[in-house]
Amino acid sequence: MTRPRQLADMPSLTATVPRQLVHRAALAETFLTGWRRTGADRFTVSAQWPRAHGLHVSPDWSAYDPLLVVETIRQSGTLISHAEYEVPLDQQFVLQEFRVATEPWALTLGPRPAEPEVELAFTDVQYRGRRPVGARYTAQVLRDGTRVATADVSFTCVGEPVYRRLRGGRTADTVTAVPVPPGVPTDAVDRALPTDVVLAPTGRPDRWQLRVNTAHPVFFDHPLDHVPGMLLLEGARQAALLETSGKRVPTAYHAVFHRYAELDGPVWIEVRGTLGAGVQVFGVQGESTVFECLVGTAGS
């Protein structure tokens, strides 16, 4: 018997990988669906991107945001670290550097959720004894065989006792975030909801306070004792849009993370000039730079 056409055209059913392997609490924020080893230190990870998402899809549902690519690559590296390199699940990952460049024309939405593949090559895997303590990996994101993005990522990982010593006793239960100030207009940063605006004006055109709302279901998918890297990158994205008056769209990020951004003190996002088509963004807390990011842009 021939299957009805509408059923034959449906993609096969699938499931996400265990959310613990990508450090996510919500299934809706788990974008990976599987993986396989393709060679020595080489892997292919499959993913599915939703057609609607509060942050990672444009307000008009026409395009995926490059930060969805970033999160997919981050999840891919974490998955492979746990599943293939046997990094224990209680390890804390410390992101050091993240460089990614995307092809905006390849991020348009179609009539079905996109199902990209991420090709990973792990290089410079560092061990202490038999346990990995850090690595660098490169990634290519392919959508229907077409390259969507390339990336280079480095991270370290530490056990819970070491992490707690590094954090000086700070936990999600003992640290209270600073009050969230009013944000800039939503349309200035291409966001539909005021709760997704992460920058607050300071009276200076090149400096904003990062709005750290620990109730945000994407940035704080689970309780944290520090400001997550994806929130810092979103701050850099919005700063680049404000700096260019929305005329140039962020398409690439080269971020270096120097130290944890703490919840209980204000974080300032500063633009300190441009370099070619890029906007130089810094995150500052107290007297310290917590991260720096060159945001590559495209447009008029």
What's the predicted TM-score (pTM) here? 0.94
Pair of tokens at residue 274: 């441009």
Residue 6 pLDDT greater than 70, yes or no = no
What are the pLDDT digits (tens) for 231-282?
999 999 999 999 999 999 999 999 999 999 999 999 999 999 988 889 999 9
Between CA 180 and CA 182 the distance in angstroms is 7
- 3-state class (DSSP) for residue 231: helix
Measured distance CA(9)–CA(248) in Å, rounded: 38
Angle CA 277–278–280, to nearest 5: 150
- Tell me the per-residue pLDDT of 63-95, one tens digit each, with 9 for 90 and over: 999 999 999 999 999 999 999 999 999 999 999
**H or E element, residue 77:** helix 66-83
pLDDT tens-digit series, residues 275-299: 888 999 999 999 999 999 999 999 8
Per-residue pLDDT tens digits for 112-155: 999 999 999 999 899 988 888 999 999 999 999 999 999 999 99
